[in-house]
Amino acid sequence: MSPHGQEPPYRRIAAEIRRRIELGELLPGDRVPSTRQLTREHGVAIATATRVLALLRAEGLVLTRPGAGTVVAAPRPQSGRAEPELSRERVLRTAVALADEGGLAAVSMRQIAAELGVATMSLYRHVRGRDELILAMADAVLADAPLPATEPAGWRARLDVLARAQWAVYRRHRWVPHVISIARPQPLPHGMAHTDLALRATAGLGLDRQVRWHVAITLMAYVKGIATNLEMGAQAVQDTGLTHDQWVDRQQATFQQVMAGGGLATMDALTTGGVDLDLETVFDFGLRRLLDGFATLVDRGVSPGR
């Protein structure tokens, strides 16, 4: 209870959801409100909303399902049959599901343990700590998007396939771009396989090793750079309830005022009538132009600094 004798907000909200589950208003498999929905509906902080779902997970009432978010759990069987043995794979998959729903901030050893119904310390038999866990999560999702068994013909097609495979991973797991480092590469086996493919793509073209490394890293840095905006965009949709187009429409008058008052005549003129522009079109356009640029290296054989 709070100092004033009132039940803490997170317990009150959890009790409301618990009641809906017990009454059958929420059935097994039904999605329960996300942390961001709870913050909007109840006017609480994100930390409070996170505690709500953590309490319900600890009680076994809800669980996190990849691609679906937090859902009502099926009643536990009464047969006395043991739960599946804890493994590194289960720890990683649970952590990935938490990150997919709530971002990296939702991933903690305590939260994973509550989700799995085990003691927190038991997790350390499978991962040494959160830092190792986060890197292992990133490598696990890269493994879920295997590279083609038969590589397409030609350096350009190979780099295009690689870039789009990485983009697909980042779209499914929007937290991953914030883990992968270009400045300080991490020893991730499946991530390194992507780099190896990028290097193989430029073999036999007469380029020296410096150019080939610059091509590989520049390509992956481009995909990662665009992908860092995916999480922010998805969060904005959840927070506002508006799609990208709906938000732009509502802000149109404000944009027009800024452009008109700021002497931004070129932008104003090119905005009139609408522009088909989103992260998908920007990614596709930029990738094609980047590959066009690499083609000049292949044709001219210049060094990376020129």
Tens-digit pLDDT profile for residues 123-141: 999 999 999 999 999 999 9
216 burial level (CB within 10 Å; 0-12, 13-18, 19+): buried
Instruction: Please give the CATH number for the structural domain made up of 83-144.
Output: 1.10.10.60
Q: What is the mean pLDDT of the chain?
A: 84
CA 150 to chain centre: 28
Angle at 166 between CA 283 and CA 128, to 5 degrees: 135
| CA atoms 239, 130, 141, 198: torsion sign | positive
**What is the reported pLDDT for 84?**
60
Tens-digit pLDDT profile for residues 180-237: 999 888 899 999 999 999 999 999 999 999 999 999 999 999 999 999 998 877 666 6
Rg of the chain over all Cα atoms, to the nearest angstrom:
24
Return d(Cα 157, Cα 203) in angstroms, integer. Answer: 13
Tokens in use for 274? Answer: 């609408």
* pLDDT class of 77 with cuts at 50, 70, 90: low
**What is the reported pLDDT for 2?**
44
The torsion of the CA quartet 86, 88, 94, 98, rounded to 10 degrees, works out to 140
Tens-digit pLDDT profile for residues 16-58: 999 998 888 888 888 999 888 898 899 888 878 888 888 888 7
Long-range pairs of 128-132 with CB within 8 A, sequence gap ≥ 24? none
Which residues, in sequence order, are CB contacts of 235 under 8 Å at separation 6+?
A: 36, 103
**What is the reported pLDDT for 175?**
95
Q: Is the pLDDT of residue 149 over 80?
A: no
**What is the reported pLDDT for 129?**
92
Fold of the CATH domain 148-300: Tetracycline Repressor; domain 2 (1.10.357)
**What is the reported pLDDT for 151?**
84
Q: Is the pLDDT of residue 303 over 70?
A: no
Best CA proximity match to 284, nearest among 167, 126, 112, 119:
167
* pLDDT class of 259 with cuts at 50, 70, 90: confident
Q: Which residue has the higher pLDDT, 1 or 23?
A: 23
**What is the reported pLDDT for 233?**
72
Q: What is the pTM of this model?
A: 0.69
Same-fold call for 1-80 versus 83-144: yes
**What is the reported pLDDT for 125?**
93
**What is the reported pLDDT for 257?**
77
Q: Find out whether 230 and 238 touch, Cβ atoms under 8 Å.
A: no
**What is the reported pLDDT for 234?**
67
* pLDDT class of 4 with cuts at 50, 70, 90: very low
Locate the domains of the chain by residue range: 1-80, 83-144, 148-300
CATH 1.10.10.10 fits 1-80, yes or no: yes
Residue range 116-120: average pLDDT? 87
SS3 31: strand
Highest mean pLDDT among 5-14, 33-42, 104-113, 206-215: 206-215
CA 14 to chain centre: 26
Return d(Cα 93, Cα 196) in angstroms, integer. Answer: 26
